[in-house]
C-alpha cells in the first residue's frame, strides 16, 4: 500500500461522504477494490492529526488534547465502518486479502499512536491535574479511560519494550485474522449432501425445506445439504433418526479449524497464547488473564473461577442425571450403544417430548422469523417508546439486508437499524451486533451523530414460498442481538469513545441477555407466537408446556458453556514460560480431564474454532462474561417482576437511563447500582438455570 503516493483524490467519495438515503453509504457506488486506496489515505491522515495534537505548542487542555483525539480520524472511521462490517458479513477473496494486509498495518498504526511519548505526556499532565480542570462527570470518565488505555497499550514502557510490544501486537493481529478466515473456510467448504429419502428420516418439514435451499445454493438442486450453520446442524442433530449421519455431521462440526493443512488453527493458537503471555509480562501482569481482567467488573481470574466453578459443580451433577435418563431411553429402544455427543440432542429431545408432552417441532410453527422481528420491535416500543419504520428500496451491502429508521416517542429519528438475518457462504458463522457509525455529540456546533447499527445473523432460508421458521434458541438469539443493538441505538453520550457498547467486557452482555427475558413474557408470546398457517396464537396449553420445560437440559447447556469459559481462563492464566511450551490440544485435554468433563458432552467451542477468544482478543480471558452478565440480567429482570409489570414505565425509564443509554460514561458497578440499588449474587442465575 504505497502511502507515500496516496492522495485524497484517490478516495472514492462514496466512502468518504455518506450521501445515501437516511445518511447511509451509497454501497452501490463502492467497489471492493476502493478500500485499499481509502486506507492508504486515511491511516497517514489520521497519524498527521495525531502528530499535530502531540506537537501542539500550547499547554495541554482537555479540549486541545482529549477532545481533539476524539474528533480525529473521520475518514478512517468511515472507511473502517464499511470495510470491517463487510469483511464479517459479506466477504470475498478481495476483501479477505486486504483484511490480511490491513491487520498488521492497523496494529502498527495503533502502536504509533499509543506509544507517542509527546502525546502521552499531554494526557498524563491532564490526568494528574484532573480534579482542577472543571470537567463534568462524563469528561472525567473519558480522561480517566483515555489515560488507562494508553498505559495498557505500553505508553510507560521503555523504547525497547515498546518496540517488542508493537511487534507482538502486529503478529497477534495477523494470527487473529488468519484464524478467523480458517474457520470460515472450513464452514464454507463443508456440506453433507443427502441423496435419498431415507437420509431424511425423522426430519421435520421446516428443516427439510432449509436443507433443500442450502443444497440448491451449493449447486445440488433437488437434494438436501447439512451445513455447519447452527440453524441447520443443530436441528439436524436433534431430529435425524440416522445415527450414522448424525455422527458424520457432528464430527465435521466439532473439527472446524482442526483439519490438517492450510486451515489448521492449532499452531496459530499455540503462538497466540505464547505472545499474549509475553505481552502481559511486558506490561507488568502475572498473566494475560490478569491483564485483561484488570479493568473489568470481575477484576481477577480468582473471582472468575469462583463463579465458573460454582456453576460447574452444579451443572455436572445435573448433566450426569440427564445422561442417565438418555442412556435409559437408548436401552428402552433396544440399542446397546452408550450416549455419544452426537446422540445427546436427539435423545434429550425425545425425553423432553415424553416428559412435557411436546417437542421443538411442535413449537416451531408458531415462531415465524418475521413475527419474532416484530416482537423484538414491539418490546422496544413498550419499554422505550421506539418505533421502527422500514424503508423499502434502500440499497445496503447485500440484497438481504433490511433498513429501518428508528424514531423515539416524540417522532425524532435517533438511529438507523440494519437487519441482516440469513446465512450465506460469504458470512462468518454466529450472530453479532456491530455499527457503521456510533452516536456522539462532537459534530459541528455540538451536532449529534446518528448511530447506524447492524444485527447480523445466520438463519437458514426456506424454500421459495415457504415461511421462515426458527426455533426457540434462535428466537432468543434474535432478542439477544437486538438487545445489543438497542445498547448502540439508545446511546446518549457526548464522546465517541464511550458511546453505546463501549463498556467493560463483562458488562456488555447485560443489555443483550436481559432483553432475552421479554421473549417469554406471556403478552409477547400470545401476540407474536402465532401459527404460520392459521394465524392463531400459541395455545395456552403449549405455552404452559414451554414454560414447564424452560429449565430442561440445563446441565448439558451449562457444561457446554462453562467448560469453554474455564479453558479460556486456563489458557490465559499461564505464565510466559508455561505458555511458550503449550500444546493447545494436549492442554485442552488436560484441562477437561481435570474438570472430569462428561464423556457425553463436548465444549461449546473447542480450541481450534473458538473464534470469540482467538479471532482477535475481544473475548480472550473474557468468555466468562456471558455468565457474569447472566448474574446481572437475572437480577435486573427481577426488578420488573417486583414492580408487578414486565413493562413497568418507571423501571424501564431507569433501565434506559443507566444501562442502555449511558454507554461507558459510568463505572459499570455504579451504573448497575443506580438502576437496581444493589449488586446481585449468583442466586438469581442459579434459579434461572434450575441449578439451585
Domain boundaries, given as residue ranges, for the chain: 8-156, 190-254, 266-355+552-688, 365-548
568, 621 Cβ separation under 8 angstroms:
yes
Q: How many Å apart are CA 425 and CA 423, to the nearest integer?
A: 7
The one catalytic residue in 99, 170, 481, 509 is 481
Taking alpha carbons only, the member of 551, 480, 473 closest to residue 513 is 480
pLDDT computed for residue 9 by the predictor: 81
pLDDT computed for residue 2 by the predictor: 40
CA distances (Å), origin 495, targets 491, 549, 677: 11, 45, 27
CATH for the stretch 8-156? 1.10.1370.40
- For the chain (692 residues), the mean pLDDT of every run of 10, in chain order, is 58 96 97 97 97 98 98 97 97 96 96 97 98 98 98 98 98 97 95 97 94 94 95 95 98 96 97 98 98 95 96 97 97 97 97 87 93 98 98 95 98 98 92 98 90 96 89 95 98 98 95 97 95 94 88 96 98 98 98 98 97 94 95 95 97 98 97 96 89 87
171, 270 Cβ separation under 8 angstroms:
no
Taking alpha carbons only, the member of 440, 544, 427 closest to residue 188 is 427
Q: Is 481 a catalytic residue?
A: yes
Q: How many Å apart are CA 278 and CA 168, to the nearest integer?
A: 8
pLDDT computed for residue 7 by the predictor: 66
Query: CA triplet 438, 618, 187: central angle to 5 degrees?
Result: 100
pLDDT computed for residue 3 by the predictor: 42
| pLDDT tens digit sequence for 578-603 | 999 999 999 999 999 999 999 999 99
Fold held by 365-548: 1.10.1370
Query: CA triplet 672, 128, 444: central angle to 5 degrees?
Result: 70
Beta bridge partners of 537: 530
Taking alpha carbons only, the member of 588, 593, 542, 549 closest to residue 569 is 588
CA distances (Å), origin 59, targets 55, 56, 119, 144, 149: 10, 8, 12, 19, 22
Contacts of 15 (CB under 8 A, 6+ apart): 25, 30, 34, 35, 38, 75, 78, 79, 82
Look up residue 146 and give its DSSP letter: H
Look up residue 608 and give its DSSP letter: G
Question: Do the domains 8-156 and 365-548 sit in the same CATH topology, yes or no?
Answer: yes
Taking alpha carbons only, the member of 109, 100, 107 closest to residue 44 is 109
Query: CA triplet 567, 569, 575: central angle to 5 degrees?
Result: 110
CATH class for the domain made up of 266-355+552-688: mainly alpha
226, 245 Cβ separation under 8 angstroms:
yes
Contacts of 687 (CB under 8 A, 6+ apart): 634
Phi, psi of 390 (to 5 degrees): -75, 140
Q: How many Å apart are CA 424 and CA 513, to the nearest integer?
A: 26
Amino acid at each position: 500500500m504505497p502511502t507515500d503516493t496516496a492522495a485524497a483524490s484517490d478516495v472514492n467519495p462514496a466512502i468518504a461522504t455518506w450521501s445515501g438515503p437516511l445518511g447511509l453509504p451509497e454501497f452501490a457506488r463502492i467497489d471492493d477494490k476502493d478500500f485499499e486506496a481509502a486506507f492508504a489515505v486515511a491511516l497517514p491522515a489520521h497519524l498527521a492529526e495525531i502528530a499535530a495534537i502531540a506537537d501542539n505548542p500550547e499547554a495541554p487542555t482537555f479540549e486541545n488534547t482529549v477532545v481533539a483525539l476524539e474528533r480525529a480520524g473521520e475518514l478512517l472511521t468511515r472507511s473502517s465502518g464499511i470495510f470491517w462490517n463487510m469483511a464479517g458479513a459479506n466477504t470475498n477473496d478481495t476483501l479477505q486479502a486486504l483484511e490480511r494486509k490491513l491487520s498488521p498495518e492497523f496494529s502498527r498504526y495503533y502502536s504509533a499512536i499509543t506509544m507517542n511519548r509527546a502525546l502521552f505526556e499531554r494526557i498524563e499532565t491532564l490526568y494528574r491535574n484532573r480534579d482542577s480542570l472543571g470537567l463534568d462527570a462524563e469528561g472525567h470518565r473519558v480522561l480517566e479511560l483515555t489515560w488507562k488505555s494508553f498505559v495498557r497499550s505500553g505508553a510507560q514502557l521503555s523504547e525497547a519494550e515498546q518496540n517488542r510490544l508493537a511487534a507482538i501486537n502486529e503478529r497477534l493481529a495477523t494470527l487473529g485474522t488468519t484464524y478467523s478466515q480458517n474457520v470460515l473456510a472450513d464452514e464454507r467448504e463443508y456440506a453433507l449432501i443427502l441423496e435419498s429419502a431415507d437420509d431424511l428420516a425423522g426430519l421435520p418439514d421446516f428443516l427439510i425445506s432449509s436443507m433443500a435451499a442450502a443444497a440448491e445454493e451449493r449447486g445440488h438442486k433437488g437434494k438436501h445439504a447439512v451445513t455447519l450453520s447452527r440453524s441447520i446442524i443443530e436441528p439436524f442433530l436433534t431430529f435425524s433418526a440416522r445415527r450414522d449421519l448424525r455422527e458424520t455431521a457432528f464430527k465435521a462440526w466439532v473439527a472446524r479449524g482442526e483439519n490438517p493443512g492450510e486451515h489448521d488453527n492449532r499452531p496459530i493458537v499455540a503462538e497466540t497464547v505464547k505472545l499474549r503471555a509475553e505481552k502481559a509480562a511486558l506490561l507488568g501482569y502475572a498473566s494475560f488473564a490478569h491483564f485483561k481482567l484488570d479493568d473489568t467488573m470481575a477484576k481477577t481470574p480468582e473471582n472468575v473461577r469462583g463463579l465458573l466453578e460454582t456453576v460447574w459443580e452444579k451443572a455436572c451433577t445435573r448433566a450426569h442425571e440427564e445422561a442417565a435418563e438418555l442412556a435409559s431411553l437408548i436401552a428402552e429402544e433396544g440399542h446397546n450403544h452408550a450416549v455419544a455427543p452426537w446422540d445427546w440432542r436427539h435423545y434429550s429431545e425425545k425425553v423432553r417430548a415424553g416428559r412435557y408432552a411436546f417437542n421443538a417441532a411442535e413449537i416451531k410453527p408458531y415462531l415465524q422469523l418475521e413475527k419474532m422481528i416484530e416482537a423484538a420491535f414491539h418490546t422496544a416500543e413498550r419499554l422505550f417508546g421506539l418505533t421502527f419504520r422500514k424503508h423499502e428500496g434502500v440499497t445496503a451491502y447485500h440484497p438481504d439486508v433490511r433498513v429501518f429508521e428508528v424514531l423515539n416517542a416524540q417522532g425524532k429519528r435517533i438511529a438507523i437499524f440494519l437487519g441482516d438475518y440469513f446465512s450465506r457462504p460469504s458470512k462468518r458463522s454466529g450472530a453479532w451486533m456491530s455499527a457503521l457509525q456510533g452516536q456522539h455529540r462532537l459534530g459541528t456546533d455540538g451536532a449529534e451523530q446518528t448511530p447506524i447499527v447492524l444485527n447480523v445473523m445466520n438463519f437458514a432460508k426456506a424454500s421459495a414460498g415457504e415461511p421462515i421458521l426458527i426455533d426457540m434458541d434462535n428466537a432468543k438469539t434474535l432478542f439477544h442481538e437486538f438487545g445489543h443493538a438497542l445498547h448502540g441505538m439508545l446511546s446518549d453520550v457526548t464522546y465517541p469513545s464511550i458511546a453505546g457498547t463501549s463498556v467493560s467486557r463483562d458488562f456488555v452482555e447485560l443489555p443483550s441477555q436481559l432483553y432475552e427475558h421479554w421473549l417469554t413474557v406471556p403478552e409477547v408470546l400470545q401476540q407474536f407466537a402465532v401459527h404460520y398457517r392459521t394465524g392463531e396464537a400459541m395455545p395456552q396449553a403449549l405455552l404452559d408446556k414451554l414454560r414447564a420445560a424452560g429449565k430442561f437440559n440445563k446441565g448439558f447447556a451449562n457444561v457446554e458453556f462453562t467448560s469453554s469459559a474455564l479453558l479460556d481462563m486456563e489458557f490465559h492464566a499461564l505464565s510466559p514460560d508455561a505458555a511458550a511450551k503449550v500444546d493447545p490440544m494436549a492442554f485442552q485435554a488436560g484441562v477437561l480431564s481435570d474438570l472430569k468433563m462428561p464423556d457425553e458432552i463436548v465444549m461449546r467451542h473447542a480450541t481450534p474454532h473458538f473464534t470469540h477468544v482467538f479471532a482477535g482478543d475481544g473475548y480472550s480471558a473474557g468468555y466468562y462474561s456471558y455468565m457474569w452478565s447472566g448474574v446481572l440480567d437475572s437480577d435486573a429482570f427481577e426488578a420488573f417482576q417486583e414492580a408487578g409489570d414486565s413493562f413497568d414505565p418507571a423501571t424501564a425509564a431507569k433501565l434506559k437511563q443507566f444501562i442502555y443509554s449511558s454507554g461507558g460514561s459510568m463505572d459499570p458497578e455504579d451504573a448497575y447500582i443506580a438502576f437496581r440499588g444493589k449488586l446481585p449474587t449468583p442466586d438469581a442465575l442459579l434459579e434461572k438455570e434450575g441449578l439451585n
